[in-house]
Structure 1
Amino acid sequence: MTKTGKLSEKDMPQTMYLDIFQDYVCSCAIRIARDMFAILPFKSVVVNAMDEQLNTATGKIEAAVILSVKFDKDVLNTLHFEAIDCSDSMSNFVHNMDFKKTKGFKPVEKLEVNIQ
């Protein structure tokens, strides 16, 4: 609202949008891991988040992995979920994520699942 009571609109800055998007992707990965641990007797889970991105080599929109994270159940259960920043919390786990505040996510390699 302006001083005169009119509604003022501004576009969201790109960096703010990308920061919110990064937190959203990471929070979804955490939620998926928590759900998997709740229903399956695993000690670790690998979650791969994908997005459609422009492949500049081909000029086509293609699916790409933007986050690959291996969640350890014991570590995940120690986090205080009400207080964490989801994107910062990825540092607690083995993960592949290439994110720049001004450019967003870049494609990364999937983590391998080691069955023992």
Structure 2
Amino acid sequence: MSSGWSNNTNNGWGSSSRGHEEFNERLLERQNDDALHSLHGKISALKNVTIDMHDDVNTQNELLSKMGMNFDNAKDQLSGSMRRLKLMINTKHGKNTWTIVGVILVLCFLVWLWSKRS
């Protein structure tokens, strides 16, 4: 039963159909290559961003460690100062010193009030 159409791979369209298929294949291959190149660029950019983030996190961790040590040192120094202040307040000489400091503060406050009225 032959209907006049050839039953080969070009389905009766002849060599122009084969050329069209080859053109489509090359076009698709080129589009795939372009998409692959674009994807490679995006992956490289993402890699650079993650490397920068890693470096930034390491820098911030070092800064936080140094801040933690500085706070620990400040806490130790403040504790020592408070201990010495308590010792000074408990002595008679220390109480006299605080009395003098209090009188000076009251005098400064009174001078300040007097200067505001003028």
TM over 0.5: no
Q: Which has the higher helix share?
A: 2
Which TM-score band (shorter chain)?
under 0.3
TM-score, L = length of structure 1: 0.25
TM-score, L = length of structure 2: 0.24
Q: Which has the higher strand share?
A: 1
Rg larger for: 2
Higher relative contact order (CA 8 A, sep 6+): 1
